[in-house]
């Protein structure tokens, strides 16, 4: 093996390592976590500022319309409950008792600031009949592949 | 009865493909003409059997024969006949059968075209193709069998996936995607044949390149159609989200594009043979990986994919195909000796090299972001995904660098250019870049990346135009009339060159349109009752009222809006929500007022016919229409290059 070839291989190796480090840190900073209210409680401080898709059931009796299209409601998985504030216009099917996925982050004030409210993305997940329990894991899985704004 | 006939045809196809594959490899080793003849016969037989099986399935669909499992899953007497016809690719089992049908077409077509040529490569190629064909026949016969029988026979079925019925693009997008995906099998076979044969002569480059270009055209169109569909249906006003399913189509496109370029260097300089072959093999492997990712449910959860037996089966095939590729490469890559060498880095071929490195880098970036969550979940069971900012941060700079090369590369001469040649070639087009960036700035572009894109885009547009019409200009200087020069210079000779630059022009338009539309969109949400208006940009959008329409297979809630601008009537838009029986949630269908400068996009979030209230999302996006227009350019340019004579 001559010197220029060796040099080329070393250069490519260094470039590859550098690229991998950049890519890895880029991925690490931009992860979107798929959590239930219980997962979110377990995560503790990690939840603040992280991008989270929170899945669960809209607690019946918890929906309050604020001014404009702003909306307050609780999301529950029967073990834990998270208070959610949402600003966008809710989708057609949104109502109490339905399974939802909200995307946003946990604030230090103790509520979940939602930037996006999804009822269900695809055919595979069927929301339960009103009042029936929600399979939160399945629900969040149904939104995989939906764009993260 | 129908089910039995279908199963018989598939098993026969499996048998023919397996036997033909072995005959092909044996004929390659022994080199007997008789062996090649038999391999060809097996290839035609496989295509015929797959076509028959597909006809049997279509007949069952159209006659509503609900005793066939697939028909009972996707058929319905309530849907129109054309929906029934396209139901073939509406669900997993049918689309794998459709895959087999297209694979048969490709194999038989390529075998026929090369029936008397490249006799030392063809047996191996047919062997590899029929090997893949055997796998897909096995998939159809076993794990994804559409020809199961149902008893008792149901009277009616649920109909195909509502998304398919909801928009015509969902009907034409899948065939293009399959034509692109499946077609990558052909260059894979050729590349493997070159490795097994231990030789890659320039004469063999032509079929290799053509077989790569054809599926590349289909894949290009399919990717754009997919983006268009997302834009027209999903209701968030975007066309590309870099989600796993989209990435699965992008990955093989990236490596195939790189291979098309390295093949040119190979043709000119006799170098990069092993590299080109590797890229071609990678393109095929990525289509299989993409099929695995999109068809096995692995993205819903790593743990759910084993529930469908098709996932592990494709994974095994992928592993075998990777192993086959690595072994053939490792054993034979040294035999594909370079016949020349690269003379200078600052030359056309130098930029081809950088182009290739960037494409491979882009492929890795997207691949890592797509596969990472799967690996994490497989290791520790946590579910997550990689967010859009990662892709933006990685893809935008690499894409911009590629656009830069798109301008600089074709401007540079081949070989070892003199310094003043380089200077002259590179300086002039700068005018184009500065003018375009200046126009952009004057029209209000502030984003730095968008301005850089305009600068590089204008540069590339100048170079592309100059190179594209060079033969015409040269002939006219020599005294030819415009007509003769056009026909002789652009269309009769040098079609490949002309076609490539048309594709480049399309690419420049796409990249500029993507940069402008993604950084300069505005959106506004409003809740309106009847007669109320909302303003976005220069548009006044007035809600006129909502109504419910009933059709046999769906119910629609339609909201009517009138759009005015500065007191002038622009359009009536009617975004709607279609409620299908199969789905609990309605599918929103936005309505778009599209012009060459920009789109106004209305999507209803919710609507109440009783109280005549509607929540509407309004989006203005400049230049989106140019993305769809450039697809036509890229498709046509690709075709012109494909039907070229050497």
Residue-level pLDDT at B578: 86
B247 shares its domain with B391: yes
The answer to whether residue B549 is domain-embedded is yes
B444: left (phi over 0), alpha (psi -120 to 50) or beta: left
| Axis crossing angle, helix B33-62 with helix B2-30, rounded to the nearest 10 | 160
A14 shares its domain with A49: no
If one counts the domains in chain B, the total is 4
Q: What share of chain A is helix, strand, coil (3-state, %, to 5)?
A: 30, 30, 40
On whether any CB of chain A is under 8 Å from the CB of B361, the answer is yes
Per-residue pLDDT tens digits for B533-566: 999 989 999 999 999 998 877 888 999 999 999 9
The answer to whether residue B21 is domain-embedded is yes
A129 shares its domain with A94: yes
| DSSP secondary structure code for residue B594 in this structure | E
Residue-level pLDDT at B297: 63
B479 shares its domain with B578: no
A1 shares its domain with A52: no
Question: What CATH number is associated with residue A117?
Answer: 2.40.50.140
Contacts of A126 in chain B (CB under 8 A): 584
A10 shares its domain with A79: no
Per-residue pLDDT tens digits for A106-128: 999 889 998 888 775 443 434 44
A25 shares its domain with A91: no
Contacts of A11 in chain B (CB under 8 A): none
Residue-level pLDDT at B150: 87
Helix ranges, B478-550 (H): 482-485, 495-519
Spatial separation of the C-alpha atoms in residues B23 and B26, rounded to whole Å: 5
On whether any CB of chain A is under 8 Å from the CB of B605, the answer is yes
Which of B386, B527, B582 faces A89 most closely, judged by CB atoms? B527
Question: What CATH number is associated with residue B84?
Answer: 1.20.120
Spatial separation of the C-alpha atoms in residues B497 and A1, rounded to whole Å: 38
Is B464:B432 a contact under the CB 8 Å cutoff?
no
Residue-level pLDDT at B40: 96
B5 shares its domain with B139: yes
Helix (H, G, I), strand (E, B) or coil at B493: coil
Question: What CATH number is associated with residue B595?
Answer: 2.60.98
Spatial separation of the C-alpha atoms in residues A148 and A32, rounded to whole Å: 8
B106 shares its domain with B217: no
Spatial separation of the C-alpha atoms in residues B308 and B381, rounded to whole Å: 19
| Pick among A1, A145, A146, A149 to test the B interface (most B CBs inside 10 A) | A145
A72 shares its domain with A132: yes
Spatial separation of the C-alpha atoms in residues B521 and A149, rounded to whole Å: 13
B457 shares its domain with B566: no
B596 shares its domain with B474: no
Spatial separation of the C-alpha atoms in residues B364 and B289, rounded to whole Å: 14
Q: Are strands A99-106 and A81-86 parallel, antiparallel or unpaired?
A: unpaired
Is the per-residue pLDDT at A148 higher than 50? no
B480: left (phi over 0), alpha (psi -120 to 50) or beta: beta
B431 shares its domain with B490: yes
H or E element, residue A54: strand A51-58
B126 shares its domain with B257: no
Instruction: Considering only the C-alpha atoms of chain A, give the largest distance between any 2 of them, rounded to a whole number of Å.
Output: 76
Q: Which long-range contacts (CB under 8 A, 24 or more apart) does A70-76 make?
A: A71/A117, A75/A37, A75/A100, A75/A102, A75/A112, A76/A37
B window 378-417, beta carbon within 8 A of A: 382-390, 393-394
A62 shares its domain with A88: yes
Residue whose C-alpha is closest to residue B280's, from B231, B207, B223, B201:
B207
Contacts of A146 in chain B (CB under 8 A): 241, 243
Spatial separation of the C-alpha atoms in residues B372 and B374, rounded to whole Å: 5
B288 shares its domain with B275: yes
Spatial separation of the C-alpha atoms in residues B363 and B356, rounded to whole Å: 11
Residue-level pLDDT at A141: 61
Helix (H, G, I), strand (E, B) or coil at B143: coil
pLDDT band at A78 (very low <50, low <70, confident <90, very high): confident
Report CA torsion sign: B32, B38, B39, B40: positive
Residue whose C-alpha is closest to residue B146's, from B299, B7, B341:
B7
B352 shares its domain with B409: no
Whether residue B152 is preceded by a cis peptide bond, meaning omega within 30 degrees of 0, is yes
Residue ranges of chain B whose pLDDT lies below 70: 296-308, 582-584, 644-646
CA dihedral A118, B167, B549, A120 (to 10 degrees): -20
Residue-level pLDDT at B514: 94
**Domain span including residue A14:** 1-30
B321 shares its domain with B379: yes
**Domain span including residue B614:** 522-626
Task: Count CB neighbours of B519 within 10 A.
Answer: 16
A67 shares its domain with A100: yes
Structure tokens at B331: 């054993």
B360 shares its domain with B243: yes
Structure tokens at B104: 């048969």
């Amino acid at each position: 093996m001559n010197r220029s070839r060796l040099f080329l291989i070393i250069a490519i190796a260094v470039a590859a390592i550098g690229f991998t480090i950049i890519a890895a840190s880029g991925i690490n900073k931009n992860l979107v976590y798929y959590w239930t209210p219980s997962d979110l409680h377990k995560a503790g401080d990690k939840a603040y500022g992280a991008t989270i898709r929170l899945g669960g059931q809209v607690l019946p009796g918890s929906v309050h319309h604020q001014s404009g299209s702003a909306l307050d409601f609780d999301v529950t998985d029967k073990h834990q409950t998270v208070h959610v504030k949402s600003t966008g216009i809710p989708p057609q099917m949104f109502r109490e008792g339905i399974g939802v996925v909200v995307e946003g982050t946990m604030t230090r004030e103790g509520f979940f600031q939602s930037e996006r409210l999804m009822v269900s993305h695809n055919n595979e997940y069927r929301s339960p009949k009103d009042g029936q329990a929600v399979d939160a894991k399945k629900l969040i899985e149904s939104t995989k592949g939906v764009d993260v704004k | 009865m129908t089910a039995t006939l279908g199963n018989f045809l598939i098993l026969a196809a499996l048998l023919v493909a397996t036997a033909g594959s072995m005959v092909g490899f044996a004929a390659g080793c022994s080199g007997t003409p008789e062996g090649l003849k038999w391999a060809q016969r097996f290839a035609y037989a496989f295509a015929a059997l797959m076509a028959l099986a597909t006809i049997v399935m279509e007949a069952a669909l159209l006659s509503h024969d609900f005793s066939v499992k697939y028909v009972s899953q996707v058929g319905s007497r309530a849907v129109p006949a054309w929906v029934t016809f396209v139901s073939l690719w509406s669900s997993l089992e049918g689309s794998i059968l459709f895959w087999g049908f297209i694979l048969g077409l490709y194999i038989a077509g390529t075998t026929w075209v090369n029936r008397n040529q490249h006799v030392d490569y063809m047996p191996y190629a047919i062997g590899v193709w029929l090997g893949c064909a055997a796998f897909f026949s096995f998939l159809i016969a076993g794990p994804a069998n559409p020809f199961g029988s149902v008893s008792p026979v149901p009277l009616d079925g649920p109909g195909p996936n509502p998304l398919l019925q909801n928009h015509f693009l969902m009907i034409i997008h899948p065939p293009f995607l399959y034509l692109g995906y499946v077609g990558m099998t052909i260059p894979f076979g050729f590349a493997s044949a070159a490795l097994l044969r231990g030789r890659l002569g320039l004469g063999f480059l032509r079929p290799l390149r053509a077989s790569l270009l054809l599926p590349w055209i289909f894949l290009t169109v399919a990717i754009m159609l997919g983006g268009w569909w997302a834009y027209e249906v999903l209701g968030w006003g975007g066309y590309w989200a870099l989600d796993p399913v989209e990435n699965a189509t992008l990955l093989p496109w990236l490596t195939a594009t790189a291979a098309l370029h390295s093949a040119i260097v190979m043709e000119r300089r006799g170098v990069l043979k092993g590299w080109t072959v590797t890229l071609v093999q990678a393109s095929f492997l990525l289509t299989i990986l993409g099929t695995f990712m999109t068809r096995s449910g692995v993205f819903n959860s790593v743990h759910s994919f084993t529930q469908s037996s098709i996932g592990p089966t494709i994974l095994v095939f992928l592993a075998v195909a990777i192993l086959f590729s690595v072994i053939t490469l490792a054993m034979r890559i040294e035999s594909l000796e370079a016949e020349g060498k690269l003379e200078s880095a600052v030359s056309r071929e130098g930029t081809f090299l950088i182009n290739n490195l960037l494409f491979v880098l882009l492929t890795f970036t997207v691949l890592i972001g797509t596969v990472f969550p799967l690996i994490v979940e497989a290791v520790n069971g946590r579910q997550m995904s990689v967010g859009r900012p990662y892709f933006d941060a990685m893809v935008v700079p690499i894409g911009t660098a590629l656009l830069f090369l798109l301008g600089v590369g074709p401007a540079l001469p081949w070989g070892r250019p003199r310094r003043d040649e380089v200077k002259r070639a590179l300086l002039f087009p700068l005018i184009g870049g500065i003018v375009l960036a200046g126009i952009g700035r004057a029209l209000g572009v502030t984003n730095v990346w968008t301005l850089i894109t305009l600068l590089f885009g204008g540069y590339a547009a100048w170079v592309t135009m100059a190179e594209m019409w060079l033969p015409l200009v040269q002939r006219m200087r020599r005294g030819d009339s415009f007509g003769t020069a056009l026909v002789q210079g652009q269309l009769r000779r040098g079609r490949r060159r002309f076609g490539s630059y048309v594709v480049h022009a399309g690419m420049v338009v796409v990249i500029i349109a993507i940069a402008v539309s993604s950084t300069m969109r505005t959106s506004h949400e409003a809740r309106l009752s009847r007669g109320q208006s909302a303003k976005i940009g220069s548009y006044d959008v007035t809600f006129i009222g909502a109504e419910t329409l009933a059709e046999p297979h769906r119910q629609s809630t339609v909201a009517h809006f009138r759009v005015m601008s500065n007191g002038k009537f622009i359009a009536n838009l009617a975004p709607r929500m279609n409620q299908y029986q199969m789905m609990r949630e309605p599918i929103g269908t936005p309505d778009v007022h599209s012009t060459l400068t920009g789109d106004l996009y209305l999507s209803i979030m919710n609507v109440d016919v009783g109280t005549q209230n509607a929540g509407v999302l309004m989006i203005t996006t400049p230049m989106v229409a140019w993305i769809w227009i450039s697809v036509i350019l890229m498709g046509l340019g690709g075709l012109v290059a494909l039907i070229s004579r050497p």
